[in-house]
Structure 1
Amino acid sequence: MSAALTDLIPVVNKLQDIVSTTNLTDLDLPLLTTVGSQSAGKSSVLENIVGKDFLPRGTGIVTRRPLILQLINVQPGDALVTKTTGFETDLGLQPGERTLEDHLRQANGVAPSQDSGFGLEWGEFLHMPGKRYYSFDNIRKEIENETARIAGKNKGISRIPINLKVYSPNVLNLTLVDLPGLTKIPIADQPTDIERQIKNLILEYISKPNCIILAISPANVDLVNSESLKLARQVDPQGKRTIGILSKLDLMDHGTNAYDILTGKV
């Protein structure tokens, strides 16, 4: 990644925070946006990029608000890592785990490195300023709670985003958006026009020329039935800013394979 681009991403992240807090809608910021049907594997794709399990799981519509995920690369000696005052911490320690201070001492070379970077990885929410979540299980719970606070508990959706920053030495500087999965039929207390609501919300993001579309399709479903590719073609007919992602390769039926798709023959 070029130095100019590396310097630009933090500026875009700051602008994204301003957009989210002031309800600006006409500012076209570059984004990587995931699009896919319910249970297509969007959460797994994002979690693999981050290297942590932190997104809510379940049946029906789980992602009910856009999640703007800012990944920020930090290293052991960075000022953000060594700063231990001025914020509230949520460690979520399990039996046998060390405290944040122990890990910070280790990161600063006071103790030999024995772990994979715990204490160097944390999350921060825009709606919870000054609080660091070192427990990714608690990040998941906060996403669920914040979703219910705005979108309610009846499986409806909201266009108001959740902004989450994840700091880690194991990520690249990227900004991604996780959107609700495409659905067809309302269930339980969902609005009767839930399909239209979700489609309009997705189009609001992917219609912008600076949006790179991550069109996620499960490999165990015929690609000609891919809802994500169908929607992407509406706004990007030439495919210049669409990246197709195949998920669930391990769930393909016996005797089938994705060779032709992966080699570009289909």
Structure 2
Amino acid sequence: MAVANDGAPLGSTVIQLVNKLQDIFSRVGSQSTIDLPQVAVVGSQSSGKSSVLEALVGRDFLPRGNDICTRRPLVLQLVHTPSSQTESAEFLHLPGRTFYDFSQIRSEIQAETDREAGGNKGVSDKQIRLKIFSPNVLDITLVDLPGLTKVPVGDQPSDIEARIRTMIMSYIKVPTCLILAVTPANSDLANSDALQMAGTADPDGHRTIGVITKLDIMDRGTDARNLLLGKVIPLRLGYVGVVNRSQEDILMNRSIQDALVAEEKFFRSHPIYSGLADSCGVPQLAKKLNKILAQHIKAVLPGLKARISTSLVTLAKEHQSYGEISESKACVNIVNAGQGAVILNILSKYSDAFTSMVEGKNEAMSTSELSGGARINYIFQSIFVRSLEEVDPCEDLTDDDIRTAIQNATGPKAALFVPDVPFEVLVRRQISRLLDPSIQCARFIYDELMKISHRCMVNELQRFPFLRKRMDEVIGNFLREGLEPSEIMIHHIIEMESHCFFSADV
């Protein structure tokens, strides 16, 4: 098991501090740019990543199979507890529910993976967050990433390799992330995908720890001693060799505890590895990880503290801009009678902001485009006037039409003066051409008022998203309800001018 000889976790104080910060950020759904220290586990498919993680925990809890099993990043937070406490686990997406059966944890990981990535080998970059409480672990936060694969299967896209590489790089390129590069001993270390990606993300090698798996199934006459000693591909933090359970061991329900005993016996009795026994094996890997992570956190802590302080100042200013709420219950139930004054205050500020934008008194005045009342004035004075000027009063009227109308109005006798009747008939027909530009102007004004309503949302409404949504709906409906009678009025005015033009009463 991954516990120090004295039963006390190594570097637990600083690691527990980071774990608490991770809890806060994850539970409030923070989109903070602050990257907290953690360990990302990288390796090709079937390199033994899952077996290493299970050995660190001392429990079977990860999905198994011959194909790709890790299809979503699993953020695994190990929390050391007193020996009297029962092992348990919690998922972030299932608040309030505690798991004591680790087979149920495996089923939930599989079910949650299928819910997001589908049931046919699809891959998603959306995290699953799992916290395990156990007296048999050290305080470490690990991220189990999908294994590198080259040939798409099932519902995987044709560029699955590039997508997985991009996903992995998004974690390991972060300077606060330690990289656990897992490579099987029965493959060429020079072609290790894990070490290749780690070298790209961490060229100086300050954050990369190598793990060599499957030492017990190497070809006869070969060994990985030079690999473990860093003589092939040197790493500043070195390598740790481990022996995982075989697929047969898993099918035969061989416990991890028995496997750890067998692993220690393998290293102690092996003629090549006996001299490295004190630095190989899962318990040594856990201690080394815990120690390096604690040192890494101490190194990045000053910068982390500065970024958190900066974020707190920014958030404090943002919180202050939302305004004061007299009772905290307003955040839970803003519509109760005691919060009427709060709503009235918000509505009053909204009305003032709307008026300011229309009257041109808005503090956040744009210098790049017309808005508010200036835009409305521009619609009336420029767009509407130009559309009226484009109306040709003599369109579809020829001299013959005018001559015929005058002759029809004179009857059987010739008239010295032009009668009024043909003029009224011809002008009435042309006045109707003003309807379309007028209706278009009304709709332009409606669109601008809608833009104003969206732009003048006061800061306090950011605290109450449901109130803001409801206000958007009400204001939108109000403006739409005002557009219809406006268009009806325009129709009536045009009709009135058409029928009353040069009437006898004028």
In the alignment, structure 1 residue 14 sits paired with structure 2 residue 31: no
Structure 1 position 142 matched with structure 2 position 142: no
TM-score (norm 2): 0.43
The match for 1:154 among 120, 124, 137 is 120
Pair 1:247–1:76, CA change in 2 (3 A): closer
Provide the residue aligned with 1:44 in structure 2. Answer: 51
Question: Is residue 2:64 matched to residue 1:57?
Answer: yes
Q: Secondary structure at the match of 1:150?
A: helix
CA distance in 2, matches of 1:196, 1:4: 37
Deviations 1:71-125 (A, max 9, x none): 1111145xxx4xxxxxxxxxxxxxxxxxxxxxxxxxxxxxxxxxxxxxx111111
Structure 2 residue aligned with 1:130: 96
Match of 2:182 in 1: 216
CA contact (8 A) 1:35 1:42 kept: yes
SS in 1 for 2:20: helix
Aligned partner of residue 28 in structure 1, secondary structure: coil
Q: Residue 32 of structure 1: SS of its match in structure 2?
A: strand
**Residues 74 and 168 in structure 1, CA contact (< 8 A), matched pair in contact too:** yes
Supply the distance in 1 between the matched residues of 2:62 and 2:230 (Cα, whole angstroms): 31
Equivalent position amino acid for 2:116 in 1? I
Deviates more, 1:214-223 or 1:122-131: 122-131
Q: Given residue 22 of structure 2, which amino acid in structure 1 is its aligned partner? A: Q
**1:91 matched to which residue of 2?**
none
Instruction: Report what 1:27 is aligned to.
Output: 34
Distance 1:245 1:237 in 2: 18
In 2 relative to 1, CA 154–3 (structure 1 residues): closer, same or farther, beyond 3 Å? closer
- Which stretch of the first structure deviates more once superposed, 247-256 or 5-14? 5-14
The residue type paired with residue 148 of structure 2 is L
Q: Per chain length, whose mean CA-contact separation is higher, i.e. which structure has more relative contact order (CA < 8 Å, sep 6+)?
A: 1
User: Deviations for 1:180-239, whole angstroms, at most 9, x for unmatched residues?
Assistant: 000111112211111111101100100000111000000000101100000000011121
The equivalent residue for 2:191 is 225
Q: Which has the larger radius of gyration?
A: 2
| Letter in structure 2 aligned against 1:55 | L
Residue number in structure 2 paired with 1:68? 75
Q: How does 1:71-90 map to 2 (within 5 A)?
A: 71-76=78-83, 81=85
Give 1:163 deviation, angstroms: 0.7
Structure 1 or 2: more helix by fraction: 2
Which structure 2 residue ranges, 5 or more long, are not aligned? 233-506
1:196 matched to 2:162? The reply is yes
Using the TM superposition, name which of 148-157 and 10-19 deviates more: 10-19
How many Å separate the matches in 2 of 1:155 and 1:247? Answer: 25
TM (norm. structure 1) is 0.80
Structure 2 SS opposite 1:212: strand
Distance in 2 of aligned mates of 1:4 and 1:227: 31
Which deviates further from its counterpart, 6-15 or 168-177? Answer: 6-15
After superposition, the CA RMSD in angstroms is 1.9
1:124 match: secondary structure: strand
1:35 CA drift (Å): 0.2
Q: Distance in 1 between matches of 2:9 and 2:168?
A: 31
Task: Judge conservation of contact 2:37–2:176 (CA < 8 Å) in 1.
Answer: yes
1:241 has 2:207 as partner: yes
Cα distance, 1:36 vs. partner?
0.1
* Contact preservation (8 Å) 2:122, 2:154: no
Following TM superposition, by how much is the alpha carbon of 1:23 offset from its aligned partner in structure 2, in angstroms?
Answer: 5.5
**Sequence identity (%):** 56
| Residue in 2 that maps onto 1:254 | 220
SS of residue in 2 equivalent to 1:254: coil
Q: Which amino acid aligns with 2:163?
A: Q
Query: Secondary structure in 2 aligned to 1:34?
Result: strand
Distance in 1 between residues matched to 2:136 and 2:61, nearest whole Å = 15
Structure 1 stretches of 5 or more lacking a match?
A: 82-119
The change in CA–CA distance for 1:3 and 1:186 in structure 2 (over 3 A counts) is closer
Name the SS for the 2:72 alignment partner: coil
Distance 2:229 2:20 in 1: 39
